[in-house]
């Protein structure tokens, strides 16, 4: 039996599927530390999940539990359980590596998760009322026969809700999350009809035919354009069987591929960083969706971050002043205001905002990513480690000003000043995230060893504008992949990110392994002296990076439940 150390690992073979995941295996007599397929690029989701059943997560229960229980949670300091051997997150039904891994153009960012055509608003056939979210809306078919979820803006903030959800969907798609295809579109009442089977749920619990009066009731509290039409955000119907929301902790017990507790999935922990950047304050299960889909002839559960509209200072159709500063109920500031009869001001009460009706209260001058808070915490948010935040910050920093501008422009804001403001604030918050998280631990990334043994790498913090280090040091070892034993080969150092090999000759035979510990001298950042451990394997006359350890595992993660059919 293979034992795992700092993360959960499982393997695939041609005969038996393996359940994944993650990185550095504790070396035992049962097997080597690195296998021939390391680093894994995609989680093997090899089990059929067709038996998964829909579930419902109570909103009130979740909010209460997170505010009064999760908020007091002490982080386990467990290393993320779904990282591969080079400390990266493999692609999966949860996440797809995009920005920061592959080049993305402004056109790709602007298109985002849209793989089909936009809505055809020449005809809307109403099917039923909108059942989720605070924004009024309905479900309808367009002139092309496609089904859309249509949501409107409040009259006090025209373009606010629709712009936020469309722009945010582009950003979160680029970051790697499964997103609903969102478009800005138009509803003209002259083009609206009703499906004969369209119904609406009444207060009595009965469903009766959807009428023109019901539509008028929906439209009464929404923004209307001067020409009498309505600007809307239209989300394309997801394919597959809807299973309900996913939780930010635990696993889905009936999904045999769901083996890593959600609070230990790095991409969910990273929402603390990505959420801070965009001010995605409404982190809750109700804004997620699991869908059963068929891939390669097998049923798997696809996990969708489906509603990212509570961003940029907008939440529940309102521009709320304390978004990103406090939880819904936050004892310390609440007590301070109570005991001072309201005279003790919180930071959000003294922060100068530039007001635009189409943009919420969103600023970048006083923004601190480490003190940012959603409306309610979730377990994955609480479990964020410095290596998780570093991973997330690199992706945020990969957004150039042009890429940010392309995403913001997709919101189709009528006021160019509002569009510029949103893009500027996102850029300022991006830079604050880079300053905060890229310099907090050893920032060496992308180590490369050429055939002659010359080592090169990148300092992510210096790229983001941090102070230059004094020197780089590398300690070289021959590494035994079967026993974990090391044999010193020497040291090298340089003032640049290019280091020569040690004087002792490096192994040249196929299958040889090297361990190189890379440390950084910096007068400002003492944490940079803790080395990054890079592992290389000799393959076909070249050295391949097969392992990278940035921070040690402070605690063994919870063991995953067994996967049916696995040894």
Q: Is the pLDDT of residue 561 over 80?
A: no
**CA–CA distance, 393 with 384 (Å, rounded to integer):** 12
Portion of the chain with pLDDT greater than 90, in percent: 72
**CA–CA distance, 201 with 60 (Å, rounded to integer):** 21
The pLDDT value given to residue 16: 30
**CA–CA distance, 12 with 47 (Å, rounded to integer):** 11
444-549 matches 86-107+244-437 in CATH topology: no
pLDDT band at 319 (very low <50, low <70, confident <90, very high): low
Residue 559 backbone dihedrals phi, psi, to 5 degrees: -70, 135
Fold of 86-107+244-437: 1.10.1070
Q: Where are the alpha helices (DSSP H) in 438-565?
A: 460-463
The pLDDT value given to residue 206: 87
Annotated domain spans of the chain: 86-107+244-437, 116-165+179-238, 444-549
Could you read off the pLDDT of 182-216 as tens digits, one per residue? 999 999 999 999 999 998 888 888 888 999 999 99
Work out the mean pLDDT of the chain and round it to a whole number. 88
401 alpha carbon, distance to own chain's centre: 20
pLDDT band at 318 (very low <50, low <70, confident <90, very high): low
* Parallel/antiparallel/unpaired status of strands 124-129 and 192-201: parallel
Mean pLDDT in residue range 87-96: 97
Range in 26-35, 453-462, 514-523 with the lowest mean pLDDT: 26-35
3-state DSSP call for residue 410? coil
**CA–CA distance, 513 with 487 (Å, rounded to integer):** 11
**Which neighbouring-strand residues pair with 300?**
293
* Parallel/antiparallel/unpaired status of strands 455-459 and 444-449: antiparallel
Could you read off the pLDDT of 64-88 as tens digits, one per residue? 999 999 999 999 999 999 999 999 9
Q: Is the pLDDT of residue 563 over 70?
A: no
Q: Is 180 exposed, middle or buried (0-12, 13-18, 19+ CB in 10 A)?
A: buried
Residues 165, 233 contacting (CB under 8 angstroms): yes
Residues 226, 236 contacting (CB under 8 angstroms): no
Could you read off the pLDDT of 254-269 as tens digits, one per residue? 999 999 999 999 999 9
Domain 444-549 CATH assignment equals 2.60.40: yes
3-state DSSP call for residue 95? strand
**CA–CA distance, 400 with 405 (Å, rounded to integer):** 9
Mean pLDDT in residue range 10-28: 35
**CA–CA distance, 334 with 24 (Å, rounded to integer):** 44
Mean pLDDT in residue range 149-153: 94
């Amino acid at each position: 039996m293979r034992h795992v150390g700092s993360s959960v690992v499982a393997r695939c073979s041609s005969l038996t599927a393996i359940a994944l995941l993650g990185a550095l295996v504790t070396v035992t007599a049962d097997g080597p530390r690195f296998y021939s397929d390391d680093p894994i690029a995609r989680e093997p989701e090899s089990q059929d999940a067709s038996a998964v059943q829909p579930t419902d997560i109570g909103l009130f229960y979740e909010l209460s539990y997170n505010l009064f229980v999760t908020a007091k949670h002490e982080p386990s300091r467990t290393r993320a359980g779904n990282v591969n051997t080079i400390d990266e997150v493999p692609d999966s039904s949860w996440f797809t590596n995009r920005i920061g891994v592959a080049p993305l153009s402004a056109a790709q960012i602007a298109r985002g998760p849209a793989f089909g055509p936009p809505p055809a608003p020449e005809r809307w056939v109403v099917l039923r009322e909108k059942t989720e979210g605070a924004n009024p809306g309905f479900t309808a078919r367009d002139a092309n026969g496609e089904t859309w979820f249509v949501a409107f803006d409040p009259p006090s903030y025209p373009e606010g809700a629709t712009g936020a959800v469309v722009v945010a969907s582009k950003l979160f798609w680029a970051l790697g999350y499964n997103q609903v295809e969102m478009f800005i579109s138009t509803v003209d009442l002259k083009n609206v009809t009703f499906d004969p089977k369209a119904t609406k749920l009444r207060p009595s619990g009965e469903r009766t035919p959807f009428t023109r009066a019901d539509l008028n009731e929906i439209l009464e509290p929404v923004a209307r354009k001067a020409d009498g039409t309505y600007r809307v955000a239209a989300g394309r119907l997801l394919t597959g069987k809807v299973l309900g929301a996913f939780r930010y902790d635990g696993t889905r017990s009936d999904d045999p591929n769901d083996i890593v507790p959600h609070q230990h999935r790095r991409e969910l922990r990273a929402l603390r960083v990505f959420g801070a950047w965009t001010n995605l304050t409404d982190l809750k299960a109700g804004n997620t969706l699991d869908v059963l889909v068929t891939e390669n002839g097998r049923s798997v559960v696809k996990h969708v971050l489906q509603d990212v509209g509570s961003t940029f200072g907008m939440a529940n159709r309102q521009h709320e002043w304390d978004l990103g500063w406090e939880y819904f109920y936050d004892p310390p500031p609440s007590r301070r205001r109570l005991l001072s009869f309201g005279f003790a001001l919180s930071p959000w009460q003294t922060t100068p905002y530039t007001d635009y009706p189409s943009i919420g209260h969103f600023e970048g001058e006083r923004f601190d990513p480490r003190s940012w808070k959603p409306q309610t915490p979730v377990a994955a948010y609480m479990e964020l480690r410095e290596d998780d935040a570093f991973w997330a910050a690199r992706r945020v920093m990969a957004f150039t000003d042009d890429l940010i501008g392309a995403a913001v422009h997709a919101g189709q804001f009528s006021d160019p000043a509002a569009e510029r403001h949103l893009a500027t604030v996102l850029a300022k918050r991006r830079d604050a995230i880079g300053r905060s998280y890229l310099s907090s631990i050893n920032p060496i990334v992308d180590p490369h060893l050429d055939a002659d043994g010359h080592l090169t790498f990148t300092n992510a913090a210096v790229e983001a504008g941090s102070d230059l280090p004094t020197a780089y040091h590398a300690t070289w070892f021959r590494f035994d992949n079967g026993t974990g034993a090391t044999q010193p080969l020497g040291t090298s150092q340089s003032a640049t990110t290019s280091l020569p090999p040690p004087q002792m000759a490096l192994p040249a035979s196929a299958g040889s392994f090297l361990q190189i510990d890379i440390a950084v001298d910096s007068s400002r950042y003492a944490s940079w002296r803790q080395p990054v451990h890079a592992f290389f394997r000799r393959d076909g006359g070249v050295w391949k990076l097969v392992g990278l350890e940035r921070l040690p595992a402070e605690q063994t993660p919870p063991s995953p439940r067994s996967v049916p059919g696995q040894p």
